[in-house]
A and B are shown apart, each in its own frame.
Chain A
Amino acid sequence: MGYTETSTTFDHNVDKILTMPVQASPFQRFRAGEHSAFDQFVAEYTGPAYATALQVLKVPARAEEAVQDAFVRLWQRAGQFDPDRGNERSWVLAIVRNSAIDALRKQGRTFERSIDDAPSVYALRDPDDVWQRVLEGLTSTDVRAALQQLPAEQQEIVLKVYYEGKRPVEVARELGIAEGTVRSRLRLALGKLREALGPVREDLEP
Protein backbone atom coordinates (compact mmCIF):
# COMPACT_ATOMS: atom_id res chain seq x y z
CA MET A 1 0.00 0.00 0.00
CA GLY A 2 1.63 3.24 -1.04
CA TYR A 3 1.38 6.77 0.15
CA THR A 4 0.13 9.38 -2.29
CA GLU A 5 0.62 13.06 -1.82
CA THR A 6 -2.98 13.85 -2.51
CA SER A 7 -4.51 11.23 -0.27
CA THR A 8 -5.72 11.44 3.24
CA THR A 9 -7.54 14.08 5.10
CA PHE A 10 -10.07 12.61 7.50
CA ASP A 11 -13.60 13.78 7.43
CA HIS A 12 -13.69 15.62 10.71
CA ASN A 13 -16.95 17.26 11.47
CA VAL A 14 -15.41 20.56 12.41
CA ASP A 15 -18.53 22.18 13.86
CA LYS A 16 -19.24 19.13 15.96
CA ILE A 17 -15.67 18.94 17.22
CA LEU A 18 -15.53 22.60 18.20
CA THR A 19 -18.86 22.56 20.00
CA MET A 20 -18.52 19.23 21.79
CA PRO A 21 -19.63 19.51 25.40
CA VAL A 22 -16.75 18.95 27.78
CA GLN A 23 -17.50 16.59 30.66
CA ALA A 24 -15.11 16.04 33.50
CA SER A 25 -13.38 12.70 33.02
CA PRO A 26 -12.47 10.51 36.00
CA PHE A 27 -8.85 11.63 35.51
CA GLN A 28 -9.87 15.29 35.62
CA ARG A 29 -11.95 14.66 38.71
CA PHE A 30 -9.03 12.84 40.33
CA ARG A 31 -6.72 15.75 39.50
CA ALA A 32 -9.26 18.07 41.08
CA GLY A 33 -8.90 16.18 44.35
CA GLU A 34 -11.63 13.55 44.07
CA HIS A 35 -9.49 10.55 44.98
CA SER A 36 -12.38 8.12 44.67
CA ALA A 37 -12.42 8.83 40.91
CA PHE A 38 -9.07 7.06 40.52
CA ASP A 39 -10.68 3.61 40.49
CA GLN A 40 -12.93 4.71 37.65
CA PHE A 41 -9.92 6.11 35.85
CA VAL A 42 -8.12 2.77 36.21
CA ALA A 43 -11.16 0.88 34.94
CA GLU A 44 -11.49 3.25 31.97
CA TYR A 45 -7.88 2.93 30.86
CA THR A 46 -7.01 -0.67 31.75
CA GLY A 47 -7.90 -2.00 28.28
CA PRO A 48 -5.90 0.45 26.16
CA ALA A 49 -3.10 0.53 28.73
CA TYR A 50 -2.78 -3.25 28.58
CA ALA A 51 -2.77 -3.20 24.76
CA THR A 52 -0.05 -0.54 24.80
CA ALA A 53 2.13 -2.45 27.25
CA LEU A 54 1.60 -5.81 25.55
CA GLN A 55 2.84 -4.45 22.25
CA VAL A 56 6.12 -3.54 23.88
CA LEU A 57 6.56 -6.49 26.24
CA LYS A 58 4.78 -9.32 24.35
CA VAL A 59 4.20 -11.31 27.55
CA PRO A 60 0.76 -10.83 29.18
CA ALA A 61 1.95 -11.15 32.78
CA ARG A 62 4.70 -8.60 32.25
CA ALA A 63 2.28 -6.27 30.51
CA GLU A 64 -0.07 -6.45 33.50
CA GLU A 65 2.82 -5.60 35.79
CA ALA A 66 3.87 -2.64 33.65
CA VAL A 67 0.29 -1.36 33.62
CA GLN A 68 0.20 -1.49 37.40
CA ASP A 69 3.50 0.43 37.51
CA ALA A 70 2.08 2.99 35.12
CA PHE A 71 -1.06 3.57 37.16
CA VAL A 72 1.02 4.10 40.28
CA ARG A 73 3.14 6.64 38.35
CA LEU A 74 -0.04 8.29 37.14
CA TRP A 75 -1.36 8.55 40.68
CA GLN A 76 1.90 10.23 41.69
CA ARG A 77 2.29 12.49 38.67
CA ALA A 78 -1.24 13.39 37.65
CA GLY A 79 -0.57 16.93 38.82
CA GLN A 80 2.08 17.34 36.11
CA PHE A 81 -0.47 16.97 33.35
CA ASP A 82 -1.33 20.31 31.77
CA PRO A 83 -4.60 20.04 29.86
CA ASP A 84 -3.63 23.10 27.82
CA ARG A 85 -0.54 21.34 26.51
CA GLY A 86 -1.65 17.81 25.96
CA ASN A 87 -4.46 15.41 25.40
CA GLU A 88 -5.34 13.29 28.41
CA ARG A 89 -5.59 9.98 26.58
CA SER A 90 -2.30 10.52 24.75
CA TRP A 91 -0.52 11.61 27.91
CA VAL A 92 -1.79 8.69 29.94
CA LEU A 93 -0.90 6.12 27.30
CA ALA A 94 2.50 7.73 26.75
CA ILE A 95 3.21 7.14 30.44
CA VAL A 96 2.08 3.53 30.06
CA ARG A 97 4.30 3.06 27.02
CA ASN A 98 7.26 4.55 28.85
CA SER A 99 6.61 2.27 31.79
CA ALA A 100 6.58 -0.75 29.48
CA ILE A 101 9.77 0.35 27.74
CA ASP A 102 11.44 0.80 31.11
CA ALA A 103 10.51 -2.79 31.93
CA LEU A 104 11.78 -3.98 28.56
CA ARG A 105 15.14 -2.27 28.96
CA LYS A 106 15.55 -3.51 32.50
CA GLN A 107 14.97 -7.03 31.23
CA GLY A 108 17.54 -6.57 28.46
CA ARG A 109 20.05 -5.11 30.91
CA THR A 110 20.45 -2.19 28.57
CA PHE A 111 18.62 0.12 30.91
CA GLU A 112 20.24 3.50 31.05
CA ARG A 113 17.62 5.74 32.54
CA SER A 114 13.94 5.89 33.10
CA ILE A 115 12.35 7.26 29.98
CA ASP A 116 9.56 8.63 32.10
CA ASP A 117 10.06 11.97 30.43
CA ALA A 118 6.61 12.44 28.98
CA PRO A 119 6.01 15.33 31.37
CA SER A 120 9.19 17.15 30.29
CA VAL A 121 8.54 16.59 26.59
CA TYR A 122 4.93 17.65 26.90
CA ALA A 123 6.04 20.82 28.67
CA LEU A 124 7.44 21.91 25.30
CA ARG A 125 4.11 21.36 23.60
CA ASP A 126 2.61 24.72 22.72
CA PRO A 127 -1.08 25.14 23.56
CA ASP A 128 -3.17 24.26 20.52
CA ASP A 129 -6.90 24.16 21.12
CA VAL A 130 -7.66 23.05 17.59
CA TRP A 131 -5.39 20.01 17.75
CA GLN A 132 -6.72 19.20 21.21
CA ARG A 133 -10.23 19.00 19.81
CA VAL A 134 -9.02 17.00 16.84
CA LEU A 135 -7.43 14.45 19.18
CA GLU A 136 -10.62 14.18 21.18
CA GLY A 137 -12.45 13.29 18.00
CA LEU A 138 -9.83 10.87 16.66
CA THR A 139 -10.32 7.14 17.07
CA SER A 140 -7.66 4.46 17.04
CA THR A 141 -9.19 3.30 13.74
CA ASP A 142 -8.47 6.73 12.22
CA VAL A 143 -4.86 6.54 13.33
CA ARG A 144 -4.40 2.99 12.10
CA ALA A 145 -5.90 3.91 8.74
CA ALA A 146 -3.45 6.79 8.47
CA LEU A 147 -0.58 4.47 9.38
CA GLN A 148 -1.58 2.06 6.66
CA GLN A 149 -1.30 4.79 4.10
CA LEU A 150 2.37 5.32 4.86
CA PRO A 151 4.92 3.60 2.64
CA ALA A 152 5.63 0.11 4.00
CA GLU A 153 9.18 0.96 5.05
CA GLN A 154 7.91 3.90 7.11
CA GLN A 155 5.13 1.86 8.70
CA GLU A 156 7.72 -0.68 9.74
CA ILE A 157 9.87 1.97 11.42
CA VAL A 158 6.92 3.45 13.32
CA LEU A 159 5.84 0.01 14.48
CA LYS A 160 9.27 -0.98 15.73
CA VAL A 161 10.32 2.33 17.20
CA TYR A 162 7.08 3.58 18.68
CA TYR A 163 4.94 0.56 19.40
CA GLU A 164 7.66 -1.95 20.19
CA GLY A 165 9.86 0.54 22.02
CA LYS A 166 13.06 -0.25 20.13
CA ARG A 167 15.87 2.26 19.78
CA PRO A 168 16.68 3.51 16.27
CA VAL A 169 20.10 1.87 16.52
CA GLU A 170 18.50 -1.49 17.32
CA VAL A 171 16.06 -1.13 14.44
CA ALA A 172 18.91 -0.20 12.10
CA ARG A 173 20.79 -3.33 13.10
CA GLU A 174 17.69 -5.49 12.76
CA LEU A 175 16.85 -4.19 9.30
CA GLY A 176 20.40 -3.87 8.08
CA ILE A 177 20.11 -0.19 7.28
CA ALA A 178 21.87 2.92 8.54
CA GLU A 179 20.69 4.49 11.79
CA GLY A 180 20.34 7.78 9.94
CA THR A 181 17.94 6.10 7.52
CA VAL A 182 15.79 4.92 10.41
CA ARG A 183 15.66 8.43 11.79
CA SER A 184 14.87 10.06 8.47
CA ARG A 185 12.08 7.54 7.75
CA LEU A 186 10.68 8.21 11.19
CA ARG A 187 10.67 11.96 10.61
CA LEU A 188 8.96 11.54 7.27
CA ALA A 189 6.40 9.16 8.75
CA LEU A 190 5.52 11.47 11.62
CA GLY A 191 5.18 14.45 9.31
CA LYS A 192 2.86 12.55 6.99
CA LEU A 193 0.82 11.20 9.87
CA ARG A 194 0.31 14.61 11.34
CA GLU A 195 -0.64 15.96 7.95
CA ALA A 196 -3.05 13.11 7.30
CA LEU A 197 -4.78 13.23 10.65
CA GLY A 198 -5.17 16.94 11.08
CA PRO A 199 -8.04 18.76 9.50
CA VAL A 200 -7.23 21.49 7.02
CA ARG A 201 -6.14 24.20 9.40
CA GLU A 202 -7.72 27.01 7.43
CA ASP A 203 -11.10 25.33 7.94
CA LEU A 204 -10.76 25.50 11.68
CA GLU A 205 -9.39 28.96 12.18
CA PRO A 206 -11.93 31.77 12.36
Chain B
Amino acid sequence: MTHEQAQELLADFALGLLDSGEHAAVQAHVQDCGECRADLQEFLRAGEALAIAPLEAELPFGAAERIAAGVRARLDPPRPQGLPSNVIVGPWRNIALGAAAGVFLLAVGLTAVTIAWLDARDEADRLEGQLAARAIELPLSGEGVSGTVYVASNFAGGVARFTGLAEAPAQHHYQLWSEGPYGAKSAADFTGSNGELLVQLPELPKEMTRMFVTLEPDGATGAAPTGPEVLSTPR
Protein backbone atom coordinates (compact mmCIF):
# COMPACT_ATOMS: atom_id res chain seq x y z
CA MET B 1 0.00 0.00 0.00
CA THR B 2 1.36 3.40 -0.92
CA HIS B 3 1.52 6.31 1.45
CA GLU B 4 -1.18 8.13 -0.51
CA GLN B 5 -3.52 5.14 -0.40
CA ALA B 6 -3.00 4.80 3.33
CA GLN B 7 -3.72 8.48 3.85
CA GLU B 8 -7.02 8.05 2.02
CA LEU B 9 -8.06 5.22 4.31
CA LEU B 10 -6.85 6.47 7.70
CA ALA B 11 -10.24 7.76 8.86
CA ASP B 12 -11.99 4.54 7.84
CA PHE B 13 -9.29 2.57 9.60
CA ALA B 14 -9.70 4.56 12.80
CA LEU B 15 -13.44 3.85 12.84
CA GLY B 16 -13.07 0.16 12.01
CA LEU B 17 -14.74 0.44 8.60
CA LEU B 18 -12.25 -1.39 6.40
CA ASP B 19 -12.43 -4.98 5.32
CA SER B 20 -9.80 -7.28 6.69
CA GLY B 21 -7.32 -6.99 3.81
CA GLU B 22 -7.33 -3.20 3.76
CA HIS B 23 -7.32 -3.06 7.55
CA ALA B 24 -4.17 -5.18 7.74
CA ALA B 25 -2.47 -3.21 4.97
CA VAL B 26 -3.15 0.15 6.62
CA GLN B 27 -2.07 -1.22 9.99
CA ALA B 28 1.24 -2.42 8.54
CA HIS B 29 1.84 0.90 6.80
CA VAL B 30 1.01 3.00 9.87
CA GLN B 31 3.43 1.04 12.01
CA ASP B 32 6.28 2.15 9.75
CA CYS B 33 5.11 5.62 8.75
CA GLY B 34 5.49 8.42 11.26
CA GLU B 35 3.36 10.85 9.27
CA CYS B 36 0.43 8.46 8.93
CA ARG B 37 0.69 7.47 12.56
CA ALA B 38 0.56 11.11 13.60
CA ASP B 39 -2.42 11.79 11.35
CA LEU B 40 -4.15 8.68 12.63
CA GLN B 41 -4.09 10.04 16.17
CA GLU B 42 -6.46 12.84 15.25
CA PHE B 43 -8.95 10.43 13.69
CA LEU B 44 -8.70 8.06 16.65
CA ARG B 45 -9.39 10.91 19.03
CA ALA B 46 -12.42 11.99 17.03
CA GLY B 47 -13.64 8.40 17.01
CA GLU B 48 -13.27 8.19 20.77
CA ALA B 49 -15.41 11.29 21.12
CA LEU B 50 -18.08 9.91 18.77
CA ALA B 51 -18.28 6.72 20.82
CA ILE B 52 -19.55 8.54 23.88
CA ALA B 53 -22.42 10.29 22.11
CA PRO B 54 -25.02 7.81 20.89
CA LEU B 55 -28.50 9.27 20.57
CA GLU B 56 -30.55 9.00 23.73
CA ALA B 57 -32.60 5.81 23.84
CA GLU B 58 -34.86 4.79 26.67
CA LEU B 59 -34.36 1.25 27.86
CA PRO B 60 -37.51 -0.84 27.36
CA PHE B 61 -39.24 -2.09 30.50
CA GLY B 62 -37.18 -4.83 32.11
CA ALA B 63 -34.36 -4.59 29.54
CA ALA B 64 -31.65 -3.81 32.09
CA GLU B 65 -32.62 -6.86 34.14
CA ARG B 66 -32.84 -9.07 31.04
CA ILE B 67 -29.44 -7.95 29.82
CA ALA B 68 -27.82 -8.42 33.23
CA ALA B 69 -29.40 -11.86 33.64
CA GLY B 70 -28.42 -12.87 30.09
CA VAL B 71 -24.82 -11.81 30.58
CA ARG B 72 -24.63 -13.56 33.92
CA ALA B 73 -26.10 -16.78 32.52
CA ARG B 74 -23.56 -16.76 29.70
CA LEU B 75 -20.62 -16.10 31.99
CA ASP B 76 -21.50 -18.58 34.72
CA PRO B 77 -19.88 -21.87 33.76
CA PRO B 78 -22.27 -24.84 33.67
CA ARG B 79 -22.17 -26.85 36.87
CA PRO B 80 -20.17 -30.05 36.35
CA GLN B 81 -22.38 -32.07 38.70
CA GLY B 82 -26.10 -32.25 39.35
CA LEU B 83 -28.05 -29.46 40.96
CA PRO B 84 -26.40 -28.45 44.24
CA SER B 85 -28.43 -29.43 47.27
CA ASN B 86 -28.19 -25.99 48.86
CA VAL B 87 -29.87 -24.13 46.03
CA ILE B 88 -33.37 -25.20 47.00
CA VAL B 89 -33.69 -25.97 50.68
CA GLY B 90 -36.36 -26.01 53.36
CA PRO B 91 -39.43 -23.96 52.46
CA TRP B 92 -37.77 -23.01 49.20
CA ARG B 93 -38.31 -26.51 47.94
CA ASN B 94 -42.07 -26.18 48.10
CA ILE B 95 -42.06 -22.64 46.79
CA ALA B 96 -39.70 -23.24 43.94
CA LEU B 97 -41.25 -26.52 42.95
CA GLY B 98 -44.67 -24.95 43.04
CA ALA B 99 -43.62 -22.00 40.93
CA ALA B 100 -41.45 -23.80 38.44
CA ALA B 101 -42.69 -27.36 38.53
CA GLY B 102 -43.59 -27.40 34.87
CA VAL B 103 -40.27 -26.03 33.79
CA PHE B 104 -38.42 -28.32 36.18
CA LEU B 105 -40.17 -31.47 35.04
CA LEU B 106 -39.84 -30.52 31.41
CA ALA B 107 -36.13 -29.86 31.79
CA VAL B 108 -35.51 -32.98 33.84
CA GLY B 109 -37.43 -34.98 31.30
CA LEU B 110 -35.48 -33.39 28.50
CA THR B 111 -32.26 -34.11 30.34
CA ALA B 112 -33.21 -37.75 30.81
CA VAL B 113 -34.22 -38.12 27.19
CA THR B 114 -31.01 -36.47 26.11
CA ILE B 115 -28.97 -38.81 28.29
CA ALA B 116 -30.83 -41.80 26.94
CA TRP B 117 -30.45 -40.75 23.36
CA LEU B 118 -26.99 -39.36 23.36
CA ASP B 119 -25.49 -41.07 26.37
CA ALA B 120 -23.55 -37.88 26.80
CA ARG B 121 -22.84 -36.76 30.31
CA ASP B 122 -21.54 -33.38 29.25
CA GLU B 123 -24.78 -32.60 27.43
CA ALA B 124 -26.73 -33.56 30.53
CA ASP B 125 -24.52 -31.32 32.63
CA ARG B 126 -25.06 -28.45 30.22
CA LEU B 127 -28.82 -28.82 30.42
CA GLU B 128 -28.71 -29.05 34.19
CA GLY B 129 -26.56 -25.93 34.27
CA GLN B 130 -29.15 -24.10 32.20
CA LEU B 131 -31.88 -25.27 34.52
CA ALA B 132 -29.92 -24.16 37.55
CA ALA B 133 -29.47 -20.72 36.01
CA ARG B 134 -33.22 -20.08 35.95
CA ALA B 135 -34.69 -17.55 38.34
CA ILE B 136 -36.90 -18.67 41.19
CA GLU B 137 -40.20 -16.83 41.40
CA LEU B 138 -41.54 -16.04 44.88
CA PRO B 139 -44.95 -14.48 45.44
CA LEU B 140 -45.28 -11.71 48.03
CA SER B 141 -48.66 -10.87 49.45
CA GLY B 142 -50.15 -8.40 51.91
CA GLU B 143 -53.37 -6.51 52.43
CA GLY B 144 -54.33 -4.88 49.14
CA VAL B 145 -50.84 -5.20 47.78
CA SER B 146 -48.90 -7.90 46.03
CA GLY B 147 -45.53 -8.51 44.54
CA THR B 148 -43.08 -11.04 43.26
CA VAL B 149 -39.43 -11.59 43.96
CA TYR B 150 -37.37 -13.14 41.18
CA VAL B 151 -34.18 -14.60 42.61
CA ALA B 152 -31.39 -15.93 40.43
CA SER B 153 -30.99 -19.58 41.32
CA ASN B 154 -27.36 -18.93 42.24
CA PHE B 155 -28.62 -16.12 44.50
CA ALA B 156 -26.31 -13.62 42.78
CA GLY B 157 -29.11 -11.07 42.57
CA GLY B 158 -32.75 -10.56 41.86
CA VAL B 159 -35.59 -8.20 41.17
CA ALA B 160 -38.64 -7.43 43.28
CA ARG B 161 -41.79 -6.23 41.58
CA PHE B 162 -44.63 -4.61 43.52
CA THR B 163 -48.12 -3.65 42.44
CA GLY B 164 -50.31 -1.30 44.42
CA LEU B 165 -47.75 -0.44 47.07
CA ALA B 166 -48.66 3.11 48.13
CA GLU B 167 -45.96 5.66 48.76
CA ALA B 168 -44.54 5.33 52.23
CA PRO B 169 -45.91 7.88 54.74
CA ALA B 170 -43.77 10.92 55.49
CA GLN B 171 -40.48 10.11 57.21
CA HIS B 172 -40.93 6.39 56.52
CA HIS B 173 -39.68 3.99 53.88
CA TYR B 174 -40.12 0.36 52.99
CA GLN B 175 -37.44 -2.20 53.58
CA LEU B 176 -37.18 -5.63 51.99
CA TRP B 177 -35.58 -8.31 54.16
CA SER B 178 -34.41 -11.85 53.76
CA GLU B 179 -34.75 -14.15 56.75
CA GLY B 180 -32.97 -17.35 57.64
CA PRO B 181 -30.82 -18.97 60.31
CA TYR B 182 -28.79 -15.77 60.38
CA GLY B 183 -31.86 -13.72 61.40
CA ALA B 184 -33.12 -10.90 59.17
CA LYS B 185 -30.90 -9.09 56.70
CA SER B 186 -31.83 -6.01 54.68
CA ALA B 187 -31.87 -6.52 50.91
CA ALA B 188 -33.18 -3.12 49.73
CA ASP B 189 -35.03 -0.03 50.83
CA PHE B 190 -37.39 2.08 48.77
CA THR B 191 -40.23 4.53 49.14
CA GLY B 192 -42.97 2.84 47.11
CA SER B 193 -45.16 4.16 44.35
CA ASN B 194 -48.81 4.10 43.46
CA GLY B 195 -48.23 2.13 40.30
CA GLU B 196 -45.84 -0.68 39.54
CA LEU B 197 -42.43 -0.63 41.15
CA LEU B 198 -39.29 -2.59 40.35
CA VAL B 199 -36.48 -2.90 42.85
CA GLN B 200 -33.15 -4.45 41.94
CA LEU B 201 -31.74 -6.74 44.59
CA PRO B 202 -28.13 -7.51 45.46
CA GLU B 203 -26.67 -10.93 46.21
CA LEU B 204 -28.91 -12.76 48.67
CA PRO B 205 -28.02 -15.33 51.35
CA LYS B 206 -28.43 -18.88 50.10
CA GLU B 207 -29.70 -19.96 53.50
CA MET B 208 -32.69 -17.62 53.46
CA THR B 209 -36.09 -19.15 53.98
CA ARG B 210 -38.38 -16.14 53.61
CA MET B 211 -38.51 -12.56 52.30
CA PHE B 212 -40.72 -9.82 53.68
CA VAL B 213 -41.26 -6.08 53.54
CA THR B 214 -41.63 -3.78 56.54
CA LEU B 215 -42.49 -0.12 56.90
CA GLU B 216 -39.59 1.52 58.70
CA PRO B 217 -39.09 5.01 60.10
CA ASP B 218 -36.41 7.03 58.30
CA GLY B 219 -33.24 6.94 60.34
CA ALA B 220 -33.69 3.32 61.39
CA THR B 221 -30.36 1.54 61.38
CA GLY B 222 -31.44 -1.19 58.98
CA ALA B 223 -29.79 -3.76 61.20
CA ALA B 224 -33.11 -5.41 62.09
CA PRO B 225 -36.77 -4.83 61.24
CA THR B 226 -38.60 -2.54 63.63
CA GLY B 227 -41.83 -1.71 61.79
CA PRO B 228 -44.91 -3.69 60.76
CA GLU B 229 -44.78 -6.29 58.00
CA VAL B 230 -46.72 -5.28 54.90
CA LEU B 231 -45.79 -8.09 52.54
CA SER B 232 -44.30 -11.55 52.92
CA THR B 233 -43.52 -14.67 50.94
CA PRO B 234 -45.27 -17.81 52.26
CA ARG B 235 -43.85 -19.03 55.56
Contacts and interface: CB of A to CB of B under 8 A. Distances in A.
A183 B12 contact: yes
Contacts of B156: 39
Interface stretch (A1-9, A19-27, A115-123): A115-123
A15 to B, nearest CB: 21
Nearest to A50: B59
B176 interface: no
Interface string B36-72: 0100111111111111111111011001101110111
Interface of A: 38-39, 42-43, 46-48, 50-52, 54-55, 60, 64, 67-68, 71-72, 75, 86-87, 89-91, 93-94, 97-98, 101, 112-113, 115, 117-118, 120-122, 124-126, 128, 131, 135, 138-140, 142-144, 146-147, 158, 161-163, 167-168, 180, 183, 186-187, 189-191, 193-194, 197-198
A148 to B, nearest CB: 11
Interface of B: 8-17, 19-20, 23, 27, 30-31, 37, 40-57, 59-60, 63-64, 66-68, 70-72, 74-75, 156-157, 200
Nearest to A191: B42
Given A75-B75, A190-B14, A50 B46 contact: no
B67 A86 contact: no
Contact of B49 (A50, A90, A118, A161): A90
24 contacts: A38-B75, A46-B63, A46-B64, A68-B71, A68-B74, A71-B67, A72-B75, A90-B48, A113-B20, A117-B16, A118-B16, A121-B14, A124-B27, A125-B44, A138-B52, A143-B49, A163-B50, A167-B17, A183-B8, A183-B11, A186-B15, A187-B11, A190-B11, A193-B46
Contacts of B71: 42, 68, 71-72, 75
Given A51-B55, A113-B20, A143-B53, A39 B157 contact: yes
Main secondary structure of the interface of B (DSSP, over half): helix
A187 B11 CA distance: 6
A67 B50 contact: no
A54 B55 CA distance: 9
A197 B13 CA distance: 21
Contacts of B72: 39
Q: Which of A75, A86, A115, A139 has the most CB of B within 10 A?
A: A115
Contacts of B30: 124
A161 B19 contact: no
